Amino acid sequence: MKLQTRVLVVYLCIAVMVIALVGIFLPVTLNQQSLDTVTGNTNQQLALVDYSLSGFISSMKGHVLEISLYPVVRNPDDESFTNFLNADEDTFAYAVTEEEQEIITIFNSFRTTNQYVNSVYMGRENGAFVRSHERAQPTAYDPRERPWYILAAQHPDSVIVTEPYSSLTTQDVNIGVVKALLDENGTVYGVVGADITLTNMTDYVTGFDPGWGGEIIIVDTTGVILSGQDPSYLFMDIGEVLHEKRSEFMDTDSGTILLNGNYLIYYTSPELGWKLGMFIPASEIQKETNEAIFTVLTYLFAALILLSAFSLYYLRREIIRPLSDLTDVSRTIAETGDLDQEIPLTGTDEIGVLARSLKDMVERLHSDEVKLNEALKCEREAQSALKVAHDELEEKVSERTRELAEVNEHLKELDRLKSMFIATMSHELRTPLNSIIGFSGILLKGWSGDINEEQIKQLTIIDSSARHLLGLINDVIDISKIEAGTIELSLSSYDLVPVISDVLLSFRESANEQKIALYTDIPETLEIFGDERRTKQILINLIGNAFKFTDGGSVTVTAGTDGDTVHISVTDTGIGIPEGSVQRLFKPFIRVRTEGRMTEGTGLGLYLSRKLARALGGEITVASSPGEGSEFTVILPLESENIDKDPDY
């Protein structure tokens, strides 16, 4: 796919994504904005209705107050006024006096000049009742028991607006604006008032056109609907309309409630305390939202088309065409290998930099091609020289290999001769040494006759030296076998405790002579699998070393198991080993110099002991502090499967 096509596809995808995202998120935002706008405008309209209604009620109060100030109305002589206390509908007849007629004229004039006023009336303490027009039915009637009279009497100094109350002679529900009549002593002797029916109130409110198909309702402080375009709402409690949302409506000054596909936007009159609400169908708000969305998407789509067109034109002129030219040059160079191509150079932007970079690269390739040809020539010469050197090297390697083979055969012969020498010498030396040891033993025991102390001393030296020499020969033979991998082990299960006891018993006399305390901490029995003789040889070497380095003091031998191994430790309180000499202890023919003296011996004991321990699948470790003593620990396996059949000596 060409770059221009890809760019076009990208722009289309971006446009679709933008429109999709706007289409997803914009309705919610615009719907809320539309609702906020409608709510704000509605609250303004409700405030205007409230202002007009408050003005209307206020003017009604003023008119009622004005009526209450007429002298004829204030005349306390009310004995001749019409009285319905004992009226009978069948027999009652009006007998209006001239004074009462004057009052009726005033009342009726006010009623007829105010289209929303239903009636104007006056009640007196004697039960008299004067009305702007005749009652629908002349039934028994006591004004003193009516809500409007009671409320005015309770607030004699004010013009009061009553709660809604039902008419006795009609089906009207009225709101009264009433004022008490007071004598010189402040005593109430009557009440003047004017009624507005809820129907009239509705007529007053429906004179306002809120728009959006809205319907206005008015609710008093107790929750009774005073006015509404739906007649069935009149004198109904708002809870029958709002149900569980009644408390939200009554407890807040303003707000918006969604109910059955309609928004109720309400406002509380600061003057009257009444709630003024407007029902607006949610479909009207959605309609405005849809129109706004269509307008936004139309402009957005047009803007995206213009942006895409200008962007594509610019990209084609400034980017795609120069890149296409560079692509053609690069393809020609790649297909033909001809570096003598004219590279079009544009401005100083990224495309221009790319063109110059391509030109520099072609020039470097041309230069590198020349150098490469020279290098290839040198390489051919070097390969020729390398072949000659390789042939010479192979000849030398073959010659060195033959020499190494001859040396190896010679070393094998020397090793064989060494083994034969050691075997022969050990046999030749051990035979006379055993004879010397045997004869010196016979002489020391006095079997060949009595000997004096000097002879005993000399014979003891001979016996000790012969035994020492025999031990050295045995050590050399063992080391030779270990290094040759031919040492033979006699493996079996045995009790380690008697072995340790036998070794310790052999050192009792030396301990007494050197005044060394010999301690043990071993169990009664300790079964292991191994070579009893080799284990004993290891212990003799370790305990012998402890005696060499301990003057006075003590030597302690402990034994015990740790998992699948047994640990035998030989601890002395001797002079210890210098820190730098610990790593050299287990090398052959190494003797450690301690406190200015060189210990006696050949330096083979520890070396041979570690080799034997490893042959048995174990190890020897050492811990020492100069001046405090040393501890050598032999670690051996308990079971046969733990013995390495091919140990690393």
Q: What is the pLDDT of residue 429?
A: 67
Indicate the Cα dihedral angle 230, 233, 239, 244, nearest 10°. -30
Amino acid, single-letter form, for residue 370: V
Q: What is the pLDDT of residue 533?
A: 92
* Phi, psi angles (nearest 5°) of residue 527: -80, 130
Domain 366-487, CATH? 1.10.287.130
Cβ neighbours around 633 below 10 Å, total: 17
Residue 211 has pLDDT above 70, yes or no: no
What average pLDDT score do residues 312-321 get? 73
Q: What is the pLDDT of residue 439?
A: 67
Q: What is the pLDDT of residue 310?
A: 79
Residue in the structure block whose two tokens are 């109350």: 165
Structure tokens that stand for 99 in this block:
């004074």
- Over the stretch 539-571, which tens digit does the pLDDT of each residue have? 999 998 899 888 888 999 999 999 999 999 999
- DSSP-H helix ranges across 445-598: 453-484, 496-506, 508-514, 532-548
Q: In 3-state terms, what secondary structure has residue 238?
A: coil
Q: What is the pLDDT of residue 428?
A: 65
Question: Distance between CA 595 and CA 577 in Å, rounded?
Answer: 9
Q: Classify strands 597-598 and 619-625 as parallel, antiparallel or unpaired.
A: unpaired
Spatial neighbors of 231 by CB under 8 A, at least 6 apart, are 199, 202
- Over the stretch 468-503, which tens digit does the pLDDT of each residue have? 676 667 667 766 766 666 677 889 999 999 999 999
Q: Pick the residue with more confidence: 249 or 647?
A: 249
- Over the stretch 267-301, which tens digit does the pLDDT of each residue have? 898 887 888 888 888 777 777 777 777 787 788 77
Split at pLDDT 50, 70, 90, the class of 424 is low
Q: What is the pLDDT of residue 602?
A: 63
Indicate the Cα dihedral angle 14, 18, 21, 25, nearest 10°. 170
Q: What is the pLDDT of residue 607?
A: 86
Q: In 3-state terms, what secondary structure has residue 476?
A: helix
Q: In 3-state terms, what secondary structure has residue 411?
A: helix
* Segment holding 318, helix H or strand E: none
> What is the residue-wise DSSP string for 102-130?
HHHHHHHHHHHHSTT--EEEEEETTSBEE
Residues of the chain with CATH 3.30.450.20: 1-336
Question: Distance between CA 179 and CA 151 in Å, rounded?
Answer: 9
Q: Classify strands 165-166 and 254-259 as parallel, antiparallel or unpaired.
A: unpaired
Q: What is the pLDDT of residue 106?
A: 94
Q: Pick the residue with more confidence: 606 or 601?
A: 606
Does domain 1-336 bear CATH number 3.30.450.20? yes
Amino acid, single-letter form, for residue 517: A
Q: What is the pLDDT of residue 603?
A: 66
Quick one: which of 282, 12, 278, 68 has its CA closest to 181? 68
How open is the CA angle 427-429-426, to the nearest 5 degrees? Answer: 40
Mapping DSSP onto H, E and C, the string for 2-69 reads: CHHHHHHHHHHHHHHHHHHHHHHHHHHHHHHHHHHHHHHHHHHHHHHHHHHHHHHHHHHHHHHHHHHC
Instruction: Write the Ramachandran bin of 220: left for phi over 0, alpha for psi from -120 to 50, otherwise beta.
Output: beta
Question: Distance between CA 234 and CA 91 in Å, rounded?
Answer: 35
Split at pLDDT 50, 70, 90, the class of 601 is low
pLDDT, averaged across the chain:
81
Split at pLDDT 50, 70, 90, the class of 591 is low
Question: Distance between CA 317 and CA 645 in Å, rounded?
Answer: 84
Q: What is the pLDDT of residue 28?
A: 65
Amino acid, single-letter form, for residue 608: L
Residues of the chain with CATH 3.30.565.10: 488-642
Spatial neighbors of 157 by CB under 8 A, at least 6 apart, are 180
Residue 63 has pLDDT above 80, yes or no: yes
Spatial neighbors of 414 by CB under 8 A, at least 6 apart, are none
> What is the residue-wise DSSP string for 166-217?
E-SSSS-EEEEEEEEEE-TTS-EEEEEEEEEEHHHHHHHHTTS--STT-EEE
Does domain 488-642 bear CATH number 3.30.565.10? yes
Q: What percent of the chain has pLDDT over 70?
A: 81
Residues of the chain with CATH 1.10.287.130: 366-487
* Most distant CA pair in the chain, distance: 189
Residue 129 has pLDDT above 90, yes or no: yes
Residue 158 has pLDDT above 90, yes or no: yes
Q: What is the pLDDT of residue 152?
A: 94
Cα separation of the two ends of the chain: 72
Contact 513, 507 (CB under 8 A): no
Q: How many CA atoms lie within 13 A of 462 on its CB side?
A: 19
Q: What percent of the chain has pLDDT over 90?
A: 24
Q: Kindly report which listed range (242-246, 304-308, 544-548) carries the lowest average pLDDT score.
A: 304-308
Q: What is the pLDDT of residue 536?
A: 93
Of 93-102, 182-191, 408-417, the range with the highest mean pLDDT is 182-191
Q: What is the pTM of this model?
A: 0.41
What average pLDDT score do residues 102-127 get? 91
Q: Pick the residue with more confidence: 323 or 491?
A: 491
Q: Pick the residue with more confidence: 7 or 565?
A: 565
Q: In 3-state terms, what secondary structure has residue 563?
A: coil
- Over the stretch 13-48, which tens digit does the pLDDT of each residue have? 877 777 777 667 666 676 677 777 778 887 887 888
Question: Distance between CA 321 and CA 317 in Å, rounded?
Answer: 6
Q: What is the pLDDT of residue 590?
A: 65
- DSSP-H helix ranges across 229-320: 239-242, 246-251, 282-315
Q: In 3-state terms, what secondary structure has residue 159?
A: strand
Cross-strand bridge partners of residue 572: 555, 630
Amino acid, single-letter form, for residue 197: T
What average pLDDT score do residues 428-436 get? 70
